[in-house]
Structure formats: structure tokens, C-alpha cells
A and B are shown apart, each in its own frame.
Chain A
Amino acid sequence: MTMYRPDGPGPMRVPPELTSLNREFWTGGFDGELRIRRCNACGKWQQPAAARCRGCLSTDVTARVVSGNATVAAFTINHQHWSPTATTEPYVIAIVELAEDPDVRLTTNIVNCPPTDVRIGMPVSVVFEALADVALPLFEPAR
């Protein structure tokens, strides 16, 4: 599994605190997998990860591997220099909708393309960047 590595400093990134509930999501990328929890009783996807299904309140919820395919629902090109150690180059923050269920969205970065190429509706697929003990799901234009 090749991880995405930025050339030079990337955006300001503060890693998440790992818990028993979110660990699969934040570490699946080390195995090349985007893992989202899904209710085994009614099939509803859960994001953020939850112990109980928001739809039917079942506690039979487990992580599943999803395709990593998604669509850009919204984005911004960030120019603000949030931290002295972060990149001064513009970068893209986006909200993407997963192919499995467009109601499941992730806030992420779009990488491996010029920021000005990003469009709403654009198909993208997941790549992972290591940050301490987590693998951040980022997205690049679908090939």
C-alpha cells in the first residue's frame, strides 16, 4: 500500500484522539481500507462512528470496507496560513459524498491535482496520508 506524501509541509493537521469507536476509521488506511460503520439490522451507514444506529437504534453496528469512491459536494480553496509550520500554498478542503450512500459525507482534502481543477460533482477516490498513528482519508481525482 502506497501512502500519499505531500512535497513539503502540508496543511495544519491536528490528529484525532483514538477511541474504541473511531479506531477502525482512522487506522484502516494503513491497510489501504476506508472503513465506515454500518447497521446490520437496517443497513444504514453511520458517520461519525456511533455505537448505536441512528436509524433503528440497534447496537448491532460494525465497520465495513467501502469502495473509497466519492463525489465532491462542496469545497473551498484555503489560502489562510493557520500555523507557522503549515504550508503557505493554497490547498483544497472539501466535503465528499460516498458512492455507497451520498448522505454519508466526509470532510477531507483533495490532493494530486491543482486546486483550481476541483469542481462540485467531480468523482474522486480515496488515498491515505499518515499522521502520527492515524491514516487520514484524503481524495484525489478518480482515474
Chain B
Amino acid sequence: MEGVLNAIADAGLTRDDIDGIAAFQIEGSAGVMEVIDEIGLNVRWFANVGIGPSQISAIFEAMMAIETGRARHVVVFHSSCEGTVRTTLGKGGSMPGSATAMPQRVSGPTEWWMPFGAPSAGNHIAMYAQRHFHLYGTTREQMAQIPIVQRRNAGLYEKSIYSTPLTMDDYLNARMITEPFCLFDCDIPIDFSCALVLSADDSTSGLRRRPLNIEATSTVLASRPSWDQFDDLTTMMLRDVGADLWKHTDLTPADVDVAQLYDGFTYIAMAWMEALGFCGKGESGPFIEGGQRISLDGELPINTNGGQLSSGRMHGWGYLPEACVQLWGDGGARQVPNDPEVAVVASGGGIFAGAMLVTRS
């Protein structure tokens, strides 16, 4: 509730201006009904939205509601108590990456991996990473730059979970989780909430914040929505979203000043770099080698608040707020110095993917 009210106030609106609301609802998260009732909203459009095509699907749905005239100011939010649920249920008590209790029998997609001691998306993403290593010669030292650089960013962010610097030695000596992933390749379950206001193009005068423009989005799916039957295991669904995004804009990858890329596992952020065309297919290892390029003062700063690896697993909802902060120049100590005008936000890995370009209008 607090987050929703704060977002409305930050936009310079009151609850009477809000005529739409949408949430990402999964087990352990708040839905729109309780928020509508608790803060007394009157809405013309509302939606609880699941994960397909991406964790931030509720945002894509809200954009369509605005574009089709169903609403003018939509508040979108996601809050989850996954951190608490995971702690309460104990080891083996919940499905990794969720607040869902462990079932006795499995059906649907989980049927194909839960019998094989592979309960985590991390097991799958690790296999894709291993194949990438095999095909392209990618190394753990290269991949390590994702958590090392992001931890440095997290040290400059007051709400981060981990802020002490991470060294290459720390990384290489860390406990392995599922090879090639060690502890620092995996994000951390937390309790959180996130809320934003989306407004129609013609309804932004008088707002407190400088309006930002969602320039382009993509949510395409061009292969099987399956963790093991997808045609190219190294690219995942990200490949198609990344390529399609640029068909909806005159901007190019070279125009992007700051990138907020899904990092539930390190390799996903690397796969997004390839998918979005910041480097060639298979080249993300050399692209991030040494870490300079993806640092705050590099040519493609990524996950400027530490990402999910250092600031917690917000189910893909931390990236758009951080992109806004950077485009507003409000990043404080973690502000990128290049006066950013274009940000890319990419959420999802495996069979989930959605991306958007955000610009200063």
C-alpha cells in the first residue's frame, strides 16, 4: 500500500487521478483487489497479471489499457514476501525462486525437471551457460564481472542487500551451486514492493516528475515455450525479443546509455547483451572481460543499483524504476556520468522475456 501511495504522490497525482491499476500476481504476492479496497480507488480498468510473457507483463498490459483509452493514469505494482516464505518453510520446503510450497507430485512443465533433482531455474540456466562456455570458450572469470561490477554499484546504493566489495578471489573460491554457477551467480530472495505510475501521452502536464517515454517494447515468442525444447538453448527466448525490439524504433543499440538487464542468474544478463545486439552472438564473455565496459563510467553501464544479485530478487520489477532514476539524473553516488537519455529494461530468462526502451521525452 505504502509503495503504491508513494508512487502516486511522487508523480504529483492523488488517488482520485488513478483510473487503472495492475499487478504481477503470483503466490505470496499482493493482488489489485486488496489495494483497490484498502486505499479506496475507483478504477475504469484493473488486472492481475501472471508471468507470461515476462514478470513485468502487468506493465505491458497497463500500456495497452492506456493506448486503447481504457485508463489515463495506471498504477502498476508488485510486492512479494518470498524472502519470509523461504525462511519459514526451510530447506526443501518451497519451490526455489518462488513462495510456492513443495508439492508431493508434479504436473505441467515442472513434470519434466522435478523428478531429476533440478528444482531451480538455476539448474536450467546453468546448463545453457555451460553450453555457451562449450561453444564459445566463455569463462567463469569473464562471467564474474557481472557480480563484481554490480556489487560495486550496490556499494553506492543505500537500499542494497550486499554492499561489501566482491573480489575475483571471493568469486572463484565461493561455494558452487550448480556449475558453472557459484553462490555469487545467483540472486537472493527478499521481501519487497515496487510501484510505478504510467500515464497517457496527453495526460502528463502538471506532473511532478519529468515524464519519461516508453519508446518501444517487445514480447515476441518465436520458438517453443519450453525449458528444454527451445531451439537454441544458449539464447533462450531472449533472442527473439531482443531482435524484435529494434523494429519498433529508430534508435539502435549504440544509442543506449544505461542497461538494466535481468540478472536472476549472471548468465541471463550476458544472454540479454547478445540478444539486444550490444555484442555478437557468443561474444558476451569477451565483451564484459575486465568489467570496464559495463561499469558506471563504461560504454554500457548495467544494473546500476546492484541488480537482483546484490539488491535482491524483485522478480524483474527493480529494473524499470532504476532506469527512471538514472534518466532523471537522481542516482546520486551511483548515477552514470554520461547524462543518459536512453535506457533499456529487459526482464526474464528461460521461457520468459520482455524488453522496453525508455527515453527522456
The interface of chain A, by Cβ under 8 A from chain B, is 10-17, 19, 22, 47-48, 73-86, 90-91, 93-95, 103-109, 120, 131, 134, 136, 138
Enumerate chain A residues within 8 angstroms of B126, measured Cβ to Cβ. 76
> Could you tell me if A86 and B112 are in contact, using CB atoms closer than 8 angstroms?
no
> Could you tell me if B92 and A78 are in contact, using CB atoms closer than 8 angstroms?
no
Enumerate chain A residues within 8 angstroms of B226, measured Cβ to Cβ. 48
Q: Is B102 an interface residue (CB 8 A)?
A: yes
Q: Which of B35-43, B170-178, B203-211, B348-356 contacts A (4 or more CB under 8 A)?
A: B170-178
Q: Is B111 an interface residue (CB 8 A)?
A: yes
Enumerate chain A residues within 8 angstroms of B184, measured Cβ to Cβ. none
Q: A16-B106, A78-B178, A90-B176 are in contact. List 4 more A-B contacts (CB 8 A).
A: A10-B117, A74-B127, A91-B117, A95-B233
Nearest residue (CB) in A for B177 is A80
Q: Which of B105, B122, B131 contacts A15 (CB 8 A)?
A: B105
Shortest C-beta distance, A88 to chain B (Å), equals: 12
The B100-141 residues at the A interface (CB cut-off 8 A) are: 102-107, 110-120, 122-124, 126-128, 130-131, 134
What separation, in Å, do the CA atoms of A14 and B93 have in the docked complex?
Answer: 12
> Could you tell me if B117 and A93 are in contact, using CB atoms closer than 8 angstroms?
yes
Q: Which of B112, B116, B119, B180 contacts A48 (CB 8 A)?
A: B112
Shortest C-beta distance, A96 to chain B (Å), equals: 9
Shortest C-beta distance, A28 to chain B (Å), equals: 14
Q: Is B228 an interface residue (CB 8 A)?
A: yes
> Could you tell me if A109 and B112 are in contact, using CB atoms closer than 8 angstroms?
no
What separation, in Å, do the CA atoms of A13 and B105 have in the docked complex?
Answer: 10
The B138-197 residues at the A interface (CB cut-off 8 A) are: 175-181
Enumerate chain A residues within 8 angstroms of B116, measured Cβ to Cβ. 11, 13, 93, 107-109, 136, 138
Interface residues on B, range: 35 or more
What separation, in Å, do the CA atoms of A103 and B118 have in the docked complex?
Answer: 21
What separation, in Å, do the CA atoms of A93 and B113 have in the docked complex?
Answer: 9
Q: How many A-B residue pairs have CB under 8 A?
A: 128
Q: Which of B91, B127, B176 contacts A93 (CB 8 A)?
A: B127
What separation, in Å, do the CA atoms of A35 and B353 have in the docked complex?
Answer: 33
Enumerate chain A residues within 8 angstroms of B110, measured Cβ to Cβ. 14
Closest 6 CB pairs of A and B: A11-B117, A83-B92, A74-B127, A76-B126, A17-B107, A14-B114
> Could you tell me if B106 and A17 are in contact, using CB atoms closer than 8 angstroms?
yes
Given A14-B105, A82-B92, A134-B115, do A76 and B178 touch, yes or no (CB 8 Å)?
Answer: yes
What separation, in Å, do the CA atoms of A74 and B44 have in the docked complex?
Answer: 48
> Could you tell me if B107 and A78 are in contact, using CB atoms closer than 8 angstroms?
no
Nearest residue (CB) in A for B93 is A83
What separation, in Å, do the CA atoms of A86 and B92 have in the docked complex?
Answer: 9
The interface of chain B, by Cβ under 8 A from chain A, is 91-92, 96, 102-107, 110-120, 122-124, 126-128, 130-131, 134, 175-181, 226-229, 231, 233
> Could you tell me if B106 and A120 are in contact, using CB atoms closer than 8 angstroms?
no
What separation, in Å, do the CA atoms of A95 and B8 have in the docked complex?
Answer: 47
What separation, in Å, do the CA atoms of A134 and B92 have in the docked complex?
Answer: 22
Given A74-B130, A77-B176, A82-B92, do A93 and B123 touch, yes or no (CB 8 Å)?
Answer: yes
Enumerate chain B residues within 8 angstroms of A91, measured Cβ to Cβ. 117
What separation, in Å, do the CA atoms of A25 and B22 have in the docked complex?
Answer: 41
> Could you tell me if A76 and B179 are in contact, using CB atoms closer than 8 angstroms?
yes
> Could you tell me if B115 and A13 are in contact, using CB atoms closer than 8 angstroms?
yes
> Could you tell me if A76 and B92 are in contact, using CB atoms closer than 8 angstroms?
no
Enumerate chain A residues within 8 angstroms of B107, measured Cβ to Cβ. 16-17, 19
Enumerate chain A residues within 8 angstroms of B134, measured Cβ to Cβ. 120
> Could you tell me if A79 and B175 are in contact, using CB atoms closer than 8 angstroms?
yes
19 A-B residue pairings within 8 Å (CB atoms):
A10-B117, A12-B92, A48-B226, A48-B229, A73-B131, A76-B127, A78-B177, A80-B120, A81-B91, A84-B91, A93-B113, A93-B116, A95-B228, A107-B112, A107-B113, A107-B116, A107-B227, A109-B117, A120-B134
Enumerate chain B residues within 8 angstroms of A12, measured Cβ to Cβ. 92, 117, 119
Nearest residue (CB) in B for A118 is B130
Nearest residue (CB) in A for B104 is A14
> Could you tell me if A93 and B105 are in contact, using CB atoms closer than 8 angstroms?
no
Q: Which of B102, B178, B227, B231 contacts A77 (CB 8 A)?
A: B178
Shortest C-beta distance, B173 to chain A (Å), equals: 14
Enumerate chain B residues within 8 angstroms of A109, measured Cβ to Cβ. 116-117
Enumerate chain A residues within 8 angstroms of B127, measured Cβ to Cβ. 74-76, 93-95
Enumerate chain A residues within 8 angstroms of B227, measured Cβ to Cβ. 107
Enumerate chain B residues within 8 angstroms of A83, measured Cβ to Cβ. 91-92, 102
> Could you tell me if B179 and A77 are in contact, using CB atoms closer than 8 angstroms?
yes
Given A14-B102, A74-B128, do A47 and B123 touch, yes or no (CB 8 Å)?
Answer: no
